Amino acid sequence: MSALVVEALTVAFGRFTALDAVSLAVDPGEVRAVIGPNGAGKTTLLDVISGITKPVSGRVMLGDTLDLTKCSEAEIARAGVRRKFQKPSVFPALTVRENLEIGCGPALSPGERPARIASVLGETGLAPRAQALAGSLAHGEKQWLEIGMVLAAEPALLLLDEPVAGLSDAETAHTAALIRGLRRPDRAVVVIEHDMGFVEAIADRVTVLHEGRTLYEGSMHGARGDARVIEVFLGR
């Protein structure tokens, strides 16, 4: 069974086809990177998975039974899909710990929260900053806090759009280690990113999109050797 199956997904904005029969399957425990040129449809794909955009046709199956294209954004969140948007949206006047408490969501009982928060502080490397105000964090730390907030909800599927945009090399390396550490059999991760060194460091497999179509699915090493991928993307 796959964690996520996208089947012949087509999305149109007016007469413009942003996704044209895109299919892909993500295994449980996999970290998948979605790469490709600007305008390829990467963010649109995440918008459909998270219920913000509805497709013309096609299905998005979470596990074997739930078609996310038939669900509201709230139902998709309840099913365990969490998204980190590119721009960090932490609560600046609250501490790191308080932000993570919000990330836990209402379903988690107060008694269970300390252990969950301790685990997320460990995974993100933010334990020494637990009492700091989120507004005082460096840009990289804010990104890790926001990843922590979505992790606190124990998502089955985590969607990350450009998590290292604007980060320093050291912050990017920390983020790569963080994401590598997220691999768990009950959790799949889909990451959009333009930094190919980062993608190589984190991804089990890559999906290359180009003008709304799937150009390639497989290892990053294979993508680097694929003539069409080189022509439209990696070779430029």
Ligand X SMILES: Nc1ncnc2c1ncn2[C@@H]1O[C@H](COP(=O)(O)OP(=O)(O)OP(=O)(O)O)[C@@H](O)[C@H]1O
Residues 76-115 that bind ligand X (CB under 6 A): none
43 binds Mg ion (CB under 5 A): yes
User: Which residue, 16 or 170, is less far from ligand X as judged by CB?
Assistant: 16
51 binds ligand X (CB under 6 A): no
> Among Mg ion, ligand X, none, what does residue 109 contact (CB within 5–8 Å per kind)?
none
Contacts of 209 (CB under 8 A, 6+ apart): 22, 34, 35, 36, 40, 41, 42, 45, 215
Give least dist CB 61 to ligand X, A: 21
Compose the 21-40 pattern: x for residues touching ligand X by CB under 6 A, - for all others: ---------------x-xxx
Nearest 10 degrees: Cα torsion 170, 175, 181, 185: -160
What the block records as the tokens of 224 is: 């680097």
Question: What are the backbone angles phi and psi of residue 90, rounded to the nearest 5°?
Answer: -85, 165
Give least dist CB 47 to Mg ion, A: 9
Hey, is 134 helix, strand or coil?
Answer: helix
CA atoms within 13 A on the CB side of 97: 10
User: Which residue, 126 or 198, is less far from Mg ion as judged by CB?
Assistant: 198
Q: Which residues is 6 bridged to in the sheet?
A: 24, 60
Total residues at interface with ligand X (CB under 6 A): 11
Give least dist CB 65 to Mg ion, A: 29
User: Which residue, 123 or 146, is less far from ligand X as judged by CB?
Assistant: 146
Nearest 10 degrees: Cα torsion 71, 85, 211, 225: -120
Among 32, 42, 205, 210, binds ligand X (CB under 6 A): 42
What the block records as the tokens of 189 is: 């991760």
43 binds ligand X (CB under 6 A): yes
Interface residue list for ligand X (CB under 6 A)? 13, 16, 18, 36, 38-44
Interface residue list for Mg ion (CB under 5 A)? 42-43
